[in-house]
Amino acid sequence: MNWGSNTKNVLVAGFAQLPKGTTLYEIQKVVGCVLVIDRDTKTIVDASFTFVMGVTNDFISSMVRGKSVENGIQAIVQDIEERFLVPPQRAIIQALRAAYERYCDMHEIN
């Protein structure tokens, strides 16, 4: 889909350092979270995370896609804590929070 042509969508990103001592840290140092959020419905319409393995990105993206951010992201964070059991879990949550905070900052301005 051509997200940029839909003016109600906004793209936000957040980043976090990966845990030192992990293989992933040696490869890329930080993880990024990119969210496309529908400003009208306050729903995440697409998501992507910077991972070497596609299945990891697909799994975590599917966990956030379609979720509402209208009342915060605590329910999404809880789901990640329960189902995404990998060493960089905290970094993923931090990157997600950073992207969400950027969305909130933009939302306050507009």
**Where are the chain's structural domains?**
3-109
Q: pTM of this prediction?
A: 0.88
Token pair belonging to 5:
């042509």
pLDDT at 99 over 90: yes
pLDDT at 5 over 70: no
What average pLDDT does this structure show over 47-60?
89
Label residue 21 left, alpha or beta by phi (over 0 means left) and psi (-120 to 50 means alpha).
left
Confidence of residue 4 (pLDDT cuts 50, 70, 90): low
Confidence of residue 29 (pLDDT cuts 50, 70, 90): confident
pLDDT at 91 over 70: yes
State the fold for domain 3-109.
Sufe protein. Chain: A (3.90.1010)
Indicate the average pLDDT of the chain. 90
What average pLDDT does this structure show over 32-55?
92
Helix (H) or strand (E) holding 52: none
Show the DSSP H helices in the chain as ranges.
23-28, 54-64, 74-83, 89-109
